[in-house]
A and B are shown apart, each in its own frame.
Chain A
Amino acid sequence: MKKIVIALLAMVALTLGAKAQKLTDSLTYTKDSLAIANIKTSAVCDMCKETIEKAMAYEKGVKKSDLNVESKILTVTFDPKKTSLEKIRIAISKVGYDADGLAADKNAYDNLNPCCKKDAIH
């Protein structure tokens, strides 16, 4: 029984790993070896833009970020030696927004201003 559980967990881990790997592929690099990533978020308004960009400004290793509210794509420039795409996605999730495949942290999402929730009318 125990073995089966371990095997299942391993499979899950592998699948997740593979998925993460696939998303990481979208990285491009600048001349001074900074990474640029495009992350799809669940932002719906300018207030969301402010929240996410602020979170990025305080995230270790992030040099620059810009969210396009229309396309919901966040373009982040970061130092891959100091942080990773995974960590950046977690940071976005923690302020209440989906980041690529990673769902928004429930607690943070619940605390968002009603105008920033996914079903808000704008």
Chain B
Amino acid sequence: MKFKIWITTIILLFAVNTYAQIKGVVVDKKDATALVGASAYWLQSQKGTTTNSQGVFELALPPRLPDTLVISYIGYKTDTLLNIRSDKEFVIRLTPSANLNEAVVTDQKSSVSFNMIDPFNKQSLGKAELKKAACCNLSESFETNPTVDVNYSDAISGSKQIKMLGLDGSYAQLTKEMLPGIRGLNTNYGFSHIPGTWVDAIEITKGVGSVSLGYESMSGHINIELDKPEKAERLFVNLFAGDAGRFETNVHAKHKFNNHWSTLLLTHANSTSKRNDFNKDGFLDIPVGYQYNVLNRWRYDNPGKLLATFGIHALYDDRMGGQSSFKNKQENDNRSVYGVNINTKQLEAFGKLGVGFANQPYKSLLLSSSARVYEHNAYYGFKTYRGNEQTGYVNLSYHSILGNTDYKFKTGVSFLYDKFDETYNDSNFKRSEIVPGIFGEINYDIPGKVNILAGVRIDYHNLYGLMINPRIHIKYNVFRYTAFRISGGRGMRVANPFIENAATMASSRNVLVLEKLNPEVAWNYGTSITHSFKIGKGNTTILVDFYRTDFENQVIADLYTNHAQLLLYNLKGKSYSNSFQTEIIYEPLKKLELRAAYKYQDVKATYNDVLLTKPLVAKHRILFNAAYATKFDKWKYDATLKWFGVQQLPSTADQPHNLHTSSKSPNYYTVNAQVTRAFKKWEMYVGVENAFNYMQHHQIVDAANPFGNHFDASAIWGPIMGRVIYTGLRWNLK
């Protein structure tokens, strides 16, 4: 009986029927010349093909209609034909455009899109997905995503850290529109510096990224696309209020001057004034404070010839936390009340220039650059930290084909200047990095079949010498709806151990740098299978992947050896992460989407000659998400359940007996939910975070003596805030 069920299931999974076809010809809008090798694919079923030498393509109708047909060709604006219901013939006229960003196609309906086209194991989170957790900034944007984990880094600073493949966020490369994003000294706080409403899409790639973006990605690559003048609403207002005393305002405004010029202004302000102490340990759970954040960007578009975007971004953020009664620095300085203040300032300018070539739409030249000044001043009790970073980055790349569009290549040069000046307590650390580099990448792409991306980059680092990082990504469609991928490559980065371990500033631990720290180097290998099929009428996608990261060198942050110290030294021995994840997305109805994911993470490193599990990483994690919308999205419902398995905690063995805590955390789960009601021009949402009010009650070791030798607020494994209810509204003018 069981056997029969299995057989039936397998047959159902792989049942591939023959369907009617659609036929189309893709031509240039201006001179109507046929475009050879343009790709045409179904957005939902992800099946695709390319045009032949006459610009003609034939494509079977997908099993589920209506579907959206996407036509794209390098150097042209991607065109989408929505809601195709039956077999037809089309003439598709593409408009040339300078190829500035590799086009990202995200469906307006499906909030998460997996892809069967890219050589990368990549997921895109669109606006719809990001709205599922309306609060507040980038660190909350991953609430409904199983790949990226977000946790409070300590019980005091309110900063959140991400993890990918069980490794700290700093091992993933975070770019903002493919330019340096959250890195260097803002690794820890950068997530709260990008307001959620500013984000247009987030692309999450597991494993090493493209060599064209630098040498830094090891565990993955997260790219954040901000709102753009060509897509944004004329005016957008978002107001948010949470019962934990958090208020946020976002106002976006765009203006189109003429066919070429347009601009977009993004503004954000937030404040937390309420003093929350959910677990009644005498310490604020998150600091009080405020942030002002402004970004203004401009776009000049001369289709097919030139595309330029540039802008500036300015930020000011000030937070105060510590003991609940803390009011001013004086109290902290005379050690009567433990206080924390974190002040960050940032000014950034960025620009991109894309040049197209007449009659050669597959060729383009792209210049990207950014410059940033970042300042971070903080005190935690009597510990002080001042950090100053100046970064300049330029990347010039040339994209073209070899013979025909089956073979594409990208080559270029990059230059990074990064100047650090950090003062931790009374020690000063300075360094300037000057890194010129070259890279080349070849892409062999037969859409719907095979896609191979191989690249190498060579950088010369003024402090660490020659660095060579090769990377390869292969995608192969085993069946029409089954993509198999493997990837491998090397990545490296220079650690900023003080800021990356900022959580330990909220403890009595002294930082001890035992030796000269070398760059961190890791090899990452991964494999994945994405398979789409039908259960009844519902689209279903299953993803299974495994990634292994092996460190050649790592800056070990040792919290085990001594409770009073954070020891920093180079890896001697093994350090690795094994991460296995499986995810299933099922749409039983048109507007109902169910998601379930399981993740296993085994992260170990050699601490003082002993291979130990990295603390504060849950070995097992589960996520469920359900989203339902009524017709025309008038009502939207979302709920997410997350389960976290047992985590290893930093040792308290050498603490006094009365301060011993368990060496393992319990397992726990949290539930978030949100309801959104849309009206003609505005929408309103109400939501709850941590609905069942689960908390890590004992967050701070020796909370009674914050200036003592045993105080530690950095061992955080669970929610530090209880149930929070929030509400807000969005208003827009198209």
Interface residues of A (CB under 8 A from B): 45-47, 49-50, 53-54, 57-60, 108, 111, 113-115, 121-122
Contact between A58 and B82, CB atoms less than 8 A apart: no
CA distance A111 to B679 in the complex (A): 21
Chain A contacts for B80, CB-based, 8 A: 113, 115
Task: Determine which of A46, A58, A111 lies in contact with B83 in the assembled complex, contact meaning CB atoms within 8 Å.
Answer: A46
17 A–B contacts from the bound complex (CB under 8 Å): A46-B82, A46-B83, A47-B83, A50-B82, A50-B83, A53-B632, A54-B632, A57-B632, A57-B634, A58-B678, A58-B679, A58-B680, A59-B680, A115-B81, A115-B82, A121-B90, A121-B91
Count of chain B residues near A, Cβ 8 A: 20
Name which residue of chain B comes closest to A96, CB basis: B734
Q: Across the two chains, which residue of chain B brings its CB closest to A120?
A: B93
Does B66 sit at the interface, judged by CB under 8 A?
yes
CB of B255, distance to nearest CB on chain A (Å): 13
In the complex, are the beta carbons of A47 and B82 less than 8 A apart?
A: yes
Q: Which residue of A lies closest to B77 (CB)?
A: A114
Which residue from chain B places its CB closest to the CB of A50 in the assembled complex? B83
Shortest distance from the beta carbon of A87 to any chain B beta carbon, whole Å: 12
B107: Cβ under 8 A from any A Cβ:
no
CB-nearest residue of chain B to A122 = B90
The 6 closest A-B pairs by CB, nearest first: A46-B83, A47-B82, A58-B680, A57-B632, A54-B632, A121-B91
Q: How far is the CB of A42 from chain B (nearest CB, A)?
A: 17
Residues of B with C-beta under 8 A to A57: 631-632, 634
Closest to B678 in A: A58
Residues of B within 8 A of A (CB): 66, 79-85, 88, 90-91, 93, 95, 631-632, 634, 678-680, 734
Asked if A108 and B679 sit within 8 Å, CB to CB, the answer is no
* Contacting residue for A111 out of B81, B95, B734, CB 8 A: B734
B679: chain A residues at CB < 8 Å are 58
Q: Is A115 a contact of B632 with CB atoms below 8 Å? A: no
Contacts of A111 in B (CB 8 A): 734
Please give me the residue from chain A that is nearest to B83 by CB atom: A46
Tell me the smallest distance from the CB of A93 to a CB of chain B, in Å. 14
Contacts of A113 in B (CB 8 A): 80
* Bound CA span A57–B680, Å: 9
A77 to chain B, nearest CB (A): 15
Additional 12 contacts, C-beta under 8 A, given A54-B632, A108-B734: A45-B83, A46-B66, A46-B83, A46-B85, A49-B83, A50-B82, A53-B632, A58-B632, A58-B680, A115-B80, A115-B82, A121-B91
How far, in Å, is B645 (CB) from chain A's closest CB?
Answer: 43
Instruction: Tell me the bound Cα distance from A57 to B679 in angstroms.
Output: 9
In the bound assembly, the distance between CA atoms of A113 and B679 in angstroms comes to: 23
A20 to B79, CA, bound (A): 39
A16 to B648, CA, bound (A): 78
B-chain residues with CB within 8 Å of residue A121 when the two chains form the complex: 90-91, 93
Among residues of A, the one whose C-beta sits closest to the C-beta of B89 is A122
Contacts of A46 in B (CB 8 A): 66, 82-85
Chain B residues within an 8 Å CB radius of A122: 88, 90
Closest partner residue, chain A, to B632 (CB atom): A57
What's the nearest-Cβ distance from chain B to residue A73, in Å? Answer: 18
Give B28 Cβ to nearest chain A Cβ, in Å. 14
A12 to B90, CA, bound (A): 44
Chain B residues with Cβ below 8 Å from A47 are: 82-83
CA distance A46 to B65 in the complex (A): 13
Measured in the bound complex, the distance between the Cα atoms of B631 and A113 in whole Å is: 22
- Nearest Cβ distance between residue A69 and chain B, in whole angstroms? 10
Return chain A residues, CB-CB under 8 Å to B91.
121
Output the least CB separation between B493 and chain A (Å): 42
**Closest chain B CB from A18 CB (angstroms):** 30
